[in-house]
Structure 1
Amino acid sequence: MEKKKKFSLMSAILSVICVVFVAEAAAPVAAIGNSQFFWWIFLLITFLLPYGLISSELGTTYNGEGGIYDWVTKAFGHKWGARVSWFYWINYPLWLASLAVMCPGLITTITGMEFNTVGNILIELIFIWIVVWISFFPVSDSVWILNGAAVIKMFLALLIGFLGLYVALTKGMANEFTLKSMLPTFDLHSLSFVSVILFNLLGFEVICTFADDMEDPNKQIPKSIVVAGLVIAAIYIFSAFGIGVAIPTSEISTSSGLIDSFKLLTGSTSGWFIGLMAFLFMLTLFGNMISWSLGVNNTACYAAENGDMPKVFGKRGGKNNMPVGTAIMNGVVASIVVLIAPLLPNQDLFWSFFSLNLVMFLLSYVPVFPAFYKLRKIDPERPRPFKVKGSDNFLKLLVAAPMIMIIISLIFTAIPLKFDSETLREQLPVTIGAIIFILIGEVFIVIKNIKLKGEKKDVKENNRKHA
């Protein structure tokens, strides 16, 4: 029998970087202005640190395919496990669609070829189904993709940081940097982008679903989270600084991406350099989606096998036991989204889909932090290879801080707090979409409970007859 390939520690670290580091979200964060640096540092302390510690403990204590679904189900039961698995899964095809709509523009930048609506949709569908096809295979078979994407992401982020510094030194600072300008204004514009920073810091638990592919998961999981977390934090801040010192904030918007930043920094919209950056960036999009699919698919499939997701998500491949049902559903939903996109009002499709994916994604994490605290109370005898040390009050603070950040982000991303036409046009579709997806999840839970009650009633009736 062929020996199964295993992750090394370096591969685990690079996989975490590939999962967590989101290159395409760096420029939208820069639209906050200089206060982005306050938010980066503040959220690294109040969110990334506790989240990394909690993920390390839960991931080594309850390692396996279930991930955050397993943690929440053990703490709060199947209803909350079902909600988490649904939110966690549905965000993925929405994100897949948001990146797919970027691909035609990237190919145009690389080749100079323009595409009509049909051509755009074909390119988007090809991107989606290549990702789906690759996710049919074990993560250890795709480790070279994850490692390569992680290296390219770091290269692009560092390059844009150094390029920004060079432009600032040779042409002058694009924005005034004072202590006052770096302090947050707490206005709706600034706070609405905090969720993007949180999104940039999420995903450490995905590495926990790779435990069976690791040489020593109890050591590799916490080490990879700590090392990758420090590297990611440093790269984010450096690349954000490069963009901030060289590009006027007024020229950056939510629709700006990494390639837009390269174009602004070089003053060129084409040429071999911009084409190469676009090509490398597109490779990172594949790496992002493949790394996330492996974690999301395992979680959704595991939940389906436990009756907390529709049965189709539990279908596995015959040869390698991979969750092909979930992978196909990813492709189906993402394809539907890109097919209806041309029918939507003329707006920034990337940001619309990305915002909706962001809301569903953040919702899935809300119960994770209290689950950590409850599992400490109800399962104290469980061996914990990595255990967060501290008093009970410290643990409560560790749980409360990231939860508060997520809830604040959800409010400012999903709920229109101003009622002017521009705000409603941008946020109302996100609000309506989030409500629809939440209701779909609740309907499934209700149907499942009715079915369970019917099965229990049948069992009681049979027992009574046999008695």
Structure 2
Amino acid sequence: MSDGKKKFSFLSVILSVICVVFVAEAAAPAAAIGNQQFFWWIFLIITFLLPYGMVVAELGTTYEGDGGLYDWVRDAFGDKWGSRVAWYYWLNFPLWIASLATLFPSILGMVFGVELDLLPTLAIELAFVWIVVFMSFSKVSDSAWILNGGAVLKVAIAVAVGALGIWFAVNNGFASDMSFETFLPDFTNTSALSYLSIILFNFMGFEVICTFAGSMANPARDIPKAIILGGLAIGAIYLFCGFGIGAAVPADQIDPDFGMIVAVATMVGESSPIFVAICLIFLVTLFANMASWSFGVNYVADYAAKHGNMPKVFAHENAKTEMPTGAAIVNGVVATLALMLQLIPIPAISEGIFWMLFSINVVFLLISYIPMFPAFLKLRRVDANRPRVFRFPFKGALMYAALIVPAVELVLSIVATIMPLSADEVATKLPMLIGVLLFVVIGEVVRIVSARGRTEEYHGLTPELAAARLAEEAAAGEVGEGESAAAVAVATAPVAKPAPVQA
């Protein structure tokens, strides 16, 4: 991954965290929960973001490699689960690209006061998709300006929306009921509960930073600090932005597609230069967001393909830059096919294309994280002697509780997103459910076909295999200064490496 030049300062790492994790377009669906969002944001920051971030910090600084989340799950549970995670993790990205592409023509239409027909709309959407693809051909270390600039612009938009919300409320009053009861969670509001997955989605992405380790000056120091500080900063940004949206638009009227843009238009008017500027900057941030995620997702797909856990096309790299161009091109093809769904004359699909694709993308991203928590526990057990620069701070029953709760939250939020919880949700959620089940089946086919390219089946680390690996790393001079003498002794002890199990 690295070209030998360490170009990422700690400030760049923090800005990269913000650029990758903060998703401006997801602020509106979260705000659609209403004032309850403040309760859920705070609750999920404590019960999900902090334990998830600390797990990623330990794993990311303990296990170096381009695979990130895929590597951790594969190390713990072997090729079968590694392949599944790689598929789910990769699949979310082209669907996400396609969903964001659908925002572009509509927002441009608002800015310039035109309504585009289907063909020019598709042309603009496809242009967005393939520009993102070509942007992902560049090295991450050579694209720090994209990550830094994208982070600054995203924060600027969020702060602007929040500030405009305060100004609007002072001059016009709040658009929503601000009584105390509205800030308490309402478990009977199934439509609001469907958006809880968006809050969790808004926390995802810290592991992408771990794939940038080769471009960092001191990843062992910078990754944990960036995850903790960046996570808290992102939570505050989301809360402020959500407040601004809710101040101008009642929760039951917030459009999950264009909620932020509509809120700004409500506050300052569509002819205002402020509205035009925010719209155009918002569109620029979509490119930055996709470029930043592409670096991590494409590397994971490429890395998995080299292990025989994804199709070989994902392992194709540019001979000069070593960038995973095969994965990038497949992203473009899948996103293009997803956008073609707009040609189907079914309103639930053609008219709700953004929310359908975005929801499926969210579901697969969340699914890919569920195995990470049991993987963390297994690696702690079978690879206990490996030195850890950063350690998850809890032990015993408290550690198990801190890991089980986030996993359960992921499962419940996925169910609330794609399962119709009332008769009114059948028309919108049934296509999502069918899509998720279809892609799960396709993923199993991909896993089986990809396995044919492997010469041996990896079943995950055992204590013996972990000790042998650590000994090899010590012999190769890969022992860090912070490692304990006991760990080095274990690493250099003569442990026989078990023979691989043939596929």
TM-score range, shorter chain: over 0.9
Q: Which residue of 1 aligns with 2:29?
A: 28
Q: Which residue of 2 aligns with 1:373?
A: 377
Q: Which residue of 2 aligns with 1:191?
A: 193
Q: Which residue of 1 aligns with 2:400?
A: 396
State whether residues 57 and 384 of structure 1, in contact with CA within 8 Å, keep that contact through their aligned partners in structure 2. yes
State whether residues 6 and 217 of structure 2, in contact with CA within 8 Å, keep that contact through their aligned partners in structure 1. no
Would you say 1:212 and 2:214 are equivalent positions? yes
Q: Which residue of 1 aligns with 2:224?
A: 222
Q: Pick the aligned partner of 1:260 from 236, 259, 262.
A: 262
Q: Partners of 2:416 and 2:80 in 1: how far apart? A: 27
Alignment gaps of 5+ in structure 2: 458-503
TM-score by length of 1: 0.93
Q: CA RMSD in A?
A: 1.8
Q: Give 1:32-47 correspondences, 5 Å limit.
A: 32-47=33-48
Q: Which residue of 2 aligns with 1:17?
A: 18
Sort the Cα spacing of 1:289 and 1:451 in 2 relative to 1 into closer, same or farther, 3 A.
closer
State whether residues 73 and 371 of structure 2, in contact with CA within 8 Å, keep that contact through their aligned partners in structure 1. yes
- The letter for the 2-side match of 1:159 is A
Shift of 1:203: 0.6
Sort the Cα spacing of 1:428 and 1:264 in 2 relative to 1 into closer, same or farther, 3 A.
same
Moved more, 405-414 or 234-243: 234-243
Sort the Cα spacing of 1:452 and 1:151 in 2 relative to 1 into closer, same or farther, 3 A.
closer
Q: If each structure's helix is expressed as a fraction of its own residues, which one has the higher value? A: 1
State whether residues 100 and 127 of structure 1, in contact with CA within 8 Å, keep that contact through their aligned partners in structure 2. yes
Shift of 1:250: 2.9
Q: Partners of 2:202 and 2:455 in 1: how far apart? A: 42
Moved more, 374-383 or 340-349: 340-349
Shift of 1:398: 1.9
Would you say 1:414 and 2:391 are equivalent positions? no
Q: Which residue of 1 aligns with 2:476?
A: none
Shift of 1:444: 2.1
Q: Partners of 1:375 and 1:240 in 2: how far apart? A: 38
State whether residues 32 and 255 of structure 2, in contact with CA within 8 Å, keep that contact through their aligned partners in structure 1. yes
Secondary structure class of the residue paired with 1:383: coil
Would you say 1:245 and 2:250 are equivalent positions? no
State whether residues 8 and 214 of structure 1, in contact with CA within 8 Å, keep that contact through their aligned partners in structure 2. yes
Q: Partners of 2:396 and 2:316 in 1: how far apart? A: 42
Sort the Cα spacing of 1:377 and 1:245 in 2 relative to 1 into closer, same or farther, 3 A.
same
Q: Partners of 2:38 and 2:407 in 1: how far apart? A: 21
Secondary structure class of the residue paired with 2:211: helix
Secondary structure class of the residue paired with 1:189: helix
Q: Which residue of 2 aligns with 1:157?
A: 158
Q: Partners of 1:427 and 1:37 in 2: how far apart? A: 25
State whether residues 22 and 154 of structure 2, in contact with CA within 8 Å, keep that contact through their aligned partners in structure 1. yes
Shift of 1:451: 6.5
Shift of 1:390: 2.4
- The letter for the 2-side match of 1:406 is L
State whether residues 308 and 454 of structure 2, in contact with CA within 8 Å, keep that contact through their aligned partners in structure 1. no
Shift of 1:157: 0.5
- The letter for the 2-side match of 1:114 is E
Q: Give 1:320-335 correspondences, 5 Å limit.
A: 320-335=321-336
Moved more, 270-279 or 316-325: 270-279
Q: Which residue of 2 aligns with 1:172?
A: 173
Moved more, 74-83 or 239-248: 239-248
Q: Pick the aligned partner of 2:366 from 340, 349, 362.
A: 362
Q: Which residue of 2 aligns with 1:461?
A: none
Which structure would you say has the larger RCO, counting Cα contacts within 8 Å and 6 or more residues apart?
A: 1
Shift of 1:344: 5.0
Would you say 1:114 and 2:118 are equivalent positions? no
- The letter for the 1-side match of 2:390 is F
Alignment gaps of 5+ in structure 1: 456-467
Paired residues in the alignment total 452
TM-score by length of 2: 0.87
After superposition, give the CA deviation of every residue in 1:249-299 in whole Å (9 maximum; x if it has no partner): 232132333211211222x22342221111100011001100000000000
Q: Which residue of 1 aligns with 2:482?
A: none
Q: Which residue of 1 aligns with 2:352?
A: 348
State whether residues 50 and 228 of structure 2, in contact with CA within 8 Å, keep that contact through their aligned partners in structure 1. no
